[in-house]
């Protein structure tokens, strides 16, 4: 089992819709959870971090964490073509090591 799992996609959503990206992790002791956005050929950029169960909102982005289910998600409201990118889930495990998922490619269509 991979430590951090994501569906590779592509996830295709129409402009203006809500994009829902999901991530599961295997280490029950994980403490910190992150979402990075990566445009093709560019470096990852941190867009959300979440540390406790529940929702965290920042503009059009909402991160959701459920530690009991070992599940973290990212919702993007009012999706724009500029949101088309690969979204990387990253988790800090018990050894304080940051582990990345392989990413979900999001395509926002006009």
Q: Contact at 8 Å (CB) between 106 and 18?
A: no
Report which secondary-structure segment, H or E, holds 34.
strand 32-38
Span near another protein by CB under 8 A; candidates 12-20, 55-63, 73-81, 101-109: 101-109
Q: Identify which of residues 52 and 110 has a Cβ nearer to another protein in the complex.
A: 52
Which of 13, 48, 65, 90 lies at the binding interface for another protein (CB under 8 A)? 90
Residue 101 found at the interface with another protein (CB under 8 A):
yes
Say which residues have a Cβ less than 8 Å from residue 70's Cβ, sequence separation at least 6: 24, 25, 26, 28, 30
Instruction: Please list the residues that pair with 87 across neighbouring strands.
Output: 37, 104
Residue 49 found at the interface with another protein (CB under 8 A):
yes
Count of CA atoms in the C-beta half-sphere (13 A) of 39: 5
Cα 94 from chain centre: 20
Residue 39 found at the interface with another protein (CB under 8 A):
no
Q: Report the nearest approach of another protein to the CB of residue 49 (Å).
A: 6
Residue 61 found at the interface with another protein (CB under 8 A):
no
Which positions touch another protein (CB under 8 A)?
A: 8, 32, 34, 41-46, 49, 88, 90, 92, 96-103
């Amino acid at each position: 089992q991979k430590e951090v799992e994501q569906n590779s996609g592509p996830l295709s959503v129409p402009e203006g819709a809500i994009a829902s990206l999901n991530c599961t992790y295997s280490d029950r002791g994980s403490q910190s959870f992150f979402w990075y956005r990566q445009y093709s050929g560019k470096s990852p950029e941190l867009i959300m971090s979440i540390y406790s169960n529940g929702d965290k909102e920042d503009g059009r982005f909402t991160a959701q964490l459920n530690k009991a289910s070992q599940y973290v998600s990212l919702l993007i409201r009012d999706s724009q073509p500029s949101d088309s990118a690969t979204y990387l889930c990253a988790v800090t495990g018990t050894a304080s090591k940051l582990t990345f998922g392989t990413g979900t490619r999001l395509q926002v269509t006009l």
